[in-house]
Copies of this chain bind each other. A is one copy, B any other.
């Protein structure tokens, strides 16, 4: 089962002519040799919601072709169920190992709507599906009951949760409670990179990581410490990255990660899709300073 360990979420870099395919391939090839457990292309960090069907098909193909032995997961979310099913089909054809599905909204969805979406996708999928809970972008609030109902569907393999409680005891209790309502074979992955070490320490099986898609080493070091049972070391390593988490909290992880990738020369400026303008020059100086202080390297 590959929905464990560290899943790295690469950017889908843009340039004037659209998708910067060479830039994307270079990001994936770097990740393929660094020891991450999976690569999730077309996550929120991969700007899936902004891409056409054709662009998404192309990115899925490029990810599979350049990830070596590392399993590739792709996001298939879209506003309309029929479009989600098309993207699922394209992902299957591209040869990915799994798919990630967030209930993207324009009109607010009821719990029945959200369940129906996952039911339709689970019925159509030949691949394992990750339930992607990202309230900051979807504005959907999952209840535990909805988690449990969706996780009981066939093909649902993992839940990507948005963080854990700050208090370690409360975090452990939260994950333990989720274990009681989820099937045994459904893994729990933490997201929100500032919660990575805490989530793993609380018993999460996976860390779905934004920063690992661009700068994997610090996240891999946290994962190794957590896997060795050295929660203190994992926590210390995460605390050392606090200036980075502060930038994420202030500007959002996507804009900061894009600025890091641009600063390190991995992609060209400006790599985000308009209307997202990316960080201004003052914020970029803050980012460059943190990259230097923390020794984040390409």
Contact residues of A with B, CB < 8 Å?
18, 44, 49-50, 79-82, 103-104, 106-110, 112-114, 116-117, 120, 136-137, 139, 252, 254, 273-277, 280
Contacts and interface: CB of A to CB of B under 8 A. Distances in A.
B274 A137 contact: no
A274 B50 contact: no
Contacts of A254: 107
Contacts of A80: 50, 273-275
B108 A274 contact: no
B50 A110 contact: no
Copies of this chain held together in the complex: 2
Contacts of A137: 106-108
A108 B120 contact: no
Contacts of A103: 275
B277 A106 contact: no
12 contacts: A44-B107, A49-B106, A50-B80, A80-B273, A80-B275, A81-B274, A82-B273, A82-B274, A112-B277, A112-B280, A116-B277, A139-B139
A116 B275 contact: yes
Contact of A79 (B18, B49, B107, B112): B49
Given A44-B107, A108-B136, A252-B108, A113 B50 contact: no
A104 B117 CA distance: 21
A44 to B, nearest CB: 7
Given A107-B252, A113-B275, 4 more contacts: A18-B82, A80-B275, A108-B137, A120-B275
